[in-house]
Amino acid sequence: MSNLIFFDNKEMLKRKVNKWARKINPARKLKLWLKQKFGWLGVPVIIPYSGYGNHEKAFFIGCVSEDKGLAKPEQTHSKWENFIAMAKRFTSDEIPGVKVKATMLGMEQVSLTGHKGIFRFEFNFKNENISFPEDPWVNVKFELLDQVSEEQLKTEATGKILLLKPGDSSYGVISDIDDTILVSHSTNFIQKIRLMLFKNAYTRLPFEGVAGFYRALHKGYQGNCHNPIFYVSSSQWNLFDLLQDFCDIRRIPQGVM
């Protein structure tokens, strides 16, 4: 979940989107066209990932795709239910070339989704009279501006962005996820696939003591800091909701993924 690309102006964004559009797999492009042509494309949904920034600039990334219809994970879900949920994560189509509006701290921007339905925003605060809230995690509201499905109603979502202010932190933490906070068996293919397909955010296990240790890192020595944590993973974006739910359930501090 790295290699993020951000854009300085609209012309650069337009060139990048056109370049991405040419790269879309022809079979996938035909599939999307047929689904739109015959009304088979599912209701779109905005999936905000996480963002970060400071008092000068902020970045955010997200995705527009068909609604996967994912239910919230439960401890009682069976292996079959977990398998179906994982299949939904990887079978829905992302939607390129649609406009998304982002609103944060009174500022608005519009971006086009590129390859694999990804959108990116960059907010510049240098010449703006912005009053930053005390909570470093700030809401960003998103709205889909294009109609892509006959059954589509108003499509909105809210994400969180981490805005660091001077003096809020004494250091930052960059941590892997797989086999660092989350037991993944990355070196054992069969065990890794079994965990991914048949477990959910409730039944996946953390390493012992991880939650308390990371909370201590986040709060700092005196317990009053907001030291940022950046989680990195080689997993696909399709697993973002699972990893986020896992951290929430296990009380592992919120961080940028």
Higher-pLDDT residue of 152, 185: 185
Taking only the tens place, the pLDDT of each residue in 166-220 is 778 889 999 999 999 999 998 999 999 999 999 999 999 999 999 999 999 999 8
Measure the CA dihedral 194/195/201/204, to 10°: 140
**Which has the closest alpha carbon to 133: 165, 103, 107, 160?**
165
Q: Mean pLDDT across the chain, nearest whole number?
A: 85
Task: Identify whether the C-beta of residue 51 lies closer than 8 Å to the C-beta of residue 61.
Answer: yes
Q: What percent of the chain has pLDDT over 90?
A: 54
The domain made up of 1-166 has a fold known as Immunoglobulin-like (2.60.40)
Q: What whole-number distance in Å separates Cα of residue 123 and Cα of residue 13?
A: 14
Confidence tier at 2 by pLDDT (50, 70, 90): very low
Domain boundaries, the chain: 1-166, 169-257
Give the residue-averaged pLDDT of 223-227: 84
Higher-pLDDT residue of 40, 147: 147
Q: Say what the pLDDT of residue 129 is.
A: 78
- The distance in angstroms from the start CA to the end CA of the chain is 7
User: Which of 60-64, 95-99, 109-113, 203-207 is the least confident region?
Assistant: 95-99
Residue 102 tokens read as 């982002």
Q: What whole-number distance in Å separates Cα of residue 167 and Cα of residue 88?
A: 43
Strand 229-232 versus strand 173-176 pairing type:
parallel
Q: What whole-number distance in Å separates Cα of residue 161 and Cα of residue 118?
A: 17
- pLDDT value at 1 more than 80: no
Distances (CA, A) of 35 to 28, 43, 96: 11, 11, 14
Higher-pLDDT residue of 4, 74: 74
- pLDDT value at 23 more than 60: no
